[in-house]
Structure 1
Amino acid sequence: MDGTATERFEAGRPRLASLAYRLLGSAADAEDAVQDAFLRWQAADRELIEVPEAWLTRIVTNLCLDRLRSARARREHAAGARPPEPLLEGDPMLGPADTAEQRESVSLAVLTLMERLSPVERAVYVLREAFSYGHAEIADILGITESASQQHLHRARRRVAAARRRGREADPAAARAVVEEFLAAAASGRTERLVALLTDDATAISDGAGLARTPALYRTPERIAAVARAGFRPTPAKRRLVGGSPAFHHGLVNGSPAVLAVLGDRVVGTVAFEIRDGRIAGVHGIAAPDRLVRLTEEWRRRASDPPVIAVW
Structure 2
Amino acid sequence: MSGPADVTDAAGYRPLLFSIAYGMTGSVGDAEDLVQDAFLGLARAHQAGTTINDLKAYLTTSVTRLGINYLGSARVRRETYVGEWLPEPVVVSADRPGPAEYAELADSLSMAFLVLLEALTPVERAVFMLREAFGYGYPDVARMIGKSEANCRQIFARARKRIAPRGQVADIAPPPARRTEGDELARRFFEVAEGGDLDALLGMLAPDVVFQGDGGGKARAIGKSLTGLRRVAQLIIGGFRRTRLLGLSVRSAWINGRPGAVMYDAEGRVASVIELDIADGVIQAIRSVSNPDKLGHLGPVSDVARLPEK
User: Is TM > 0.5 for Structure 1 vs Structure 2?
Assistant: yes
2-side partners of 1:48 and 1:2: how far apart?
9
Equivalent position of 1:75 in the other structure: 77
Q: Find the residue that maps to 2:242 and give its secondary structure.
A: coil
One-letter amino acid of the structure 1 residue matched with residue 248 of structure 2? P
Is there any run of 5+ residues in structure 2 with no aligned partner, and where? 301-310
Q: 1:51 to 1:171 in 2, by over 3 A?
A: closer
> Structure 2 matches for 1:33-182, cutoff 5 A?
33-44=34-45, 45-70=48-73, 72-77=74-79, 79=81, 82-89=85-92, 91=98, 92-94=100-102, 96=104, 102-104=106-108, 106-162=109-165, 163-164=167-168, 169=175, 171-182=178-189
Equivalent position of 1:233 in the other structure: 241
Identity %: 31
1:192 corresponds, among 193, 199, 207, to 199
1:19 Cα shift?
A: 0.9
Q: Would you say 1:287 and 2:290 are equivalent positions?
A: yes
Is there any run of 5+ residues in structure 1 with no aligned partner, and where? 240-244, 298-312
1-side partners of 2:44 and 2:144: how far apart?
20
2-side partners of 1:17 and 1:215: how far apart?
31
2-side partners of 1:215 and 1:124: how far apart?
31
Equivalent position of 1:207 in the other structure: 214
2-side partners of 1:46 and 1:127: how far apart?
30
After superposition, what is the alpha-carbon deviation per residue over 1:288-308, rounded to whole angstroms, capped at 9, x for unaligned?
2221233349xxxxxxxxxxx
Equivalent position of 2:13 in the other structure: 12
2-side partners of 1:172 and 1:213: how far apart?
28
Q: How many residues align?
A: 285
Pick the structure with more helix per residue. Answer: 1
Equivalent position of 1:217 in the other structure: 225
What TM-score comes out, normalization by structure 2 length?
0.81
CA contact (8 A) 1:206 1:285 kept: yes
Q: 1:65 to 1:8 in 2, by over 3 A?
A: same
1:274 Cα shift?
A: 0.4
CA contact (8 A) 1:14 1:95 kept: yes
Q: CA RMSD in A?
A: 2.8
Q: 1:109 to 1:215 in 2, by over 3 A?
A: farther
